[in-house]
Chains A and B, each alone.
Chain A
């Protein structure tokens, strides 16, 4: 390779590594996500979408030429995760494309595409049974080829005396493991998963919008779809990606083209809110009693979870509140605020190195 090409490639890699700095990467992802929802009618058309798909494939092909990136993505367990990113991307496109078509039809007074066929009743045998049969055969073929080409991983025999660095949870839980950086285990490992499950079950009882049942649309339920996909794509899939590709030894962040250096030094200067308030601002030193020391944080959390909902009901969700009623609204807002608090905590860490808003290690109660 000519010298200047190699040099140029190096700069590109450095730039890519810079783009994946946590705060920048997540910010870019959020901006991209909302832009993709706003302009869904434009980019989902065949040509732009095809161009994006091509660019994504090329990006991958160029990336695997890099030694460090290749080392990560060719680990057997990581292959399906990379594939998943592209598969999820494809289905994101497919759903928004259909939403765009349907929304244009609805505006023209025609009703969604599904409407045309919804009253056609077909026999399950043969129409559906054949599709199932062919799908089963295809799935078998894909799975068999995949299994022949890629061997399942097996490492050294289990030993509790040799801790691998990094130790990673199974890949589908890496989003939660990522949350461990920002929250204590009782929140990231217990409360959050519980709330995700409860929140998912609660969705049909919270979302009372009668529109958009049985067809793809975005315009008729932007809030519900935006909220759900934000959680799924940004807070779940993206964090799985982070945990798989970007987290290295000591759970430090590494760019996709960066060598995993075990000795990478990351300054640990995290401070608690109480320290900021009493030491930096008031200059009095930390009070002895925990309830005085943590009062600012406790007030903040109470403000966020108790005072904010009624305020939002009168402002941002003014039109929604009367429709939903007290109970529905409060369940929804609580789930939303907690979903949002994950982001808040992440940004506070990246900007002001905040460790805990409330830190009561006496009771293992840290937020």
Chain B
């Protein structure tokens, strides 16, 4: 069935005047019945991507795929050129979102339950590898993002007009590390709490706003110290002088909602800019 706007080209388009074809098999007939129905035509806005036009339409008429351009440089297609690292980073991010969501069904971010929920995930769920998929996926993503940055640097792909997108990338790198860092605390075991202690202790030493940081003592009104152990950068991070339940909650919210949202927005910008900056780089 041809739609008036011409989008509904059928699966095997019969052109008028074409030489007569051998009779169709039952299978072809069945396929045609489906692909020429109104329902199919309303979902798929084009025929099978077999020629230039329909292939372009396949990309352009799909909300996910249309972050791609319709056409690209052949050199940018090469594995040896991109190492596929940006794509892998994105794929890992998606899979982390899915596995993370599943983990959220089992995990309660409180000092009382966090650890035992993880133990439950680990010991009592048959064939459970969600936690493994999530943890190793996170490790892998850190590595793929580093390698992606290395390849972008080595191919000089940050040079004009891609300077801005490199900057977006650096922020994505930071967000990736922060995602990993906030997630590290959630199992609420010794490994978690002490790694985060080592990490957040740094904030004590922030110049001006950390109570053991340079110049912080100078911030005072009369005799009243503005920056002290109960009000400084680390206190803000960990919501207390020590890692505790409040820290867990704060990290949990940042890990599951705050940072992923920010990363999603930045990735949309990142991919959009890859396109707008002329696709994957290549020599002039």
Contact = CB atoms under 8 A, between A and B. Distances in A.
A190 B195 contact: no
Nearest to A190: B206
Given A123-B56, A364-B205, A114 B283 contact: yes
A200 B72 contact: no
Interface stretch (B25-33, B211-219, B255-263): B211-219
Given A122-B72, A123-B71, A170-B195, A190 B184 contact: no
Contacts of A228: 153
Contact of A111 (B131, B187, B283): B283
Contacts, number: 276
Interface stretch (A145-153, A261-269, A328-336): A145-153
Contacts of A205: 163
B202 A135 contact: no
A184 interface: yes
Interface in B15-70: 49, 52, 55-56, 58-59, 65, 68-70
Interface in A104-131: 111-129, 131
B139 interface: yes
A363 B215 contact: yes
B77 interface: yes
A186 B213 contact: yes
A201 B224 CA distance: 39
Given A143-B133, A150-B132, A168 B71 contact: no
Given A120-B73, A135-B91, A136-B91, A153 B282 contact: no
Nearest to B214: A365
Contacts of A132: 87
Interface residues of A, number: 93
A91 B71 contact: no
A152 B135 contact: yes
Interface in A176-216: 176-177, 184-186, 188-191, 197, 200-201, 203-205, 207, 210-216
A80 interface: yes
Contacts of B199: 169-170, 173
Contact of A118 (B73, B173, B184, B191): B73
A158 B188 contact: yes
B122 interface: yes
A341 interface: no
A123 B111 CA distance: 53
B190 A157 contact: yes
A55 interface: no
B174 interface: yes
B56 to A, nearest CB: 7
Contacts of A140: 95
B236 interface: no
Interface in A51-77: 77
A284 interface: no
A153 B184 CA distance: 11
Interface stretch (A42-50, A159-167, A318-326): A159-167
Interface in B147-184: 147, 149-151, 153-160, 162-163, 166-167, 170, 173-174, 177, 180-181, 184
Given A120-B74, A154-B118, A91 B83 contact: yes
B226 interface: no
Nearest to A169: B198
A10 interface: no
Contacts of A131: 77, 79, 84
Contact of A91 (B118, B132, B147, B162): B147
Contacts of A190: 202-203, 205-207, 210, 213
A128 B77 contact: yes
Contacts of A157: 115, 188-190
Contact of B68 (A119, A124, A215, A232): A124
A139 interface: yes
Q: Lowest 3 CB-CB distances: which A-B pairs, in order?
A: A189-B202, A147-B132, A185-B205
16 contacts: A80-B143, A123-B52, A127-B77, A128-B77, A136-B91, A158-B115, A159-B193, A173-B199, A185-B202, A186-B212, A186-B213, A188-B202, A190-B206, A200-B166, A204-B162, A364-B212
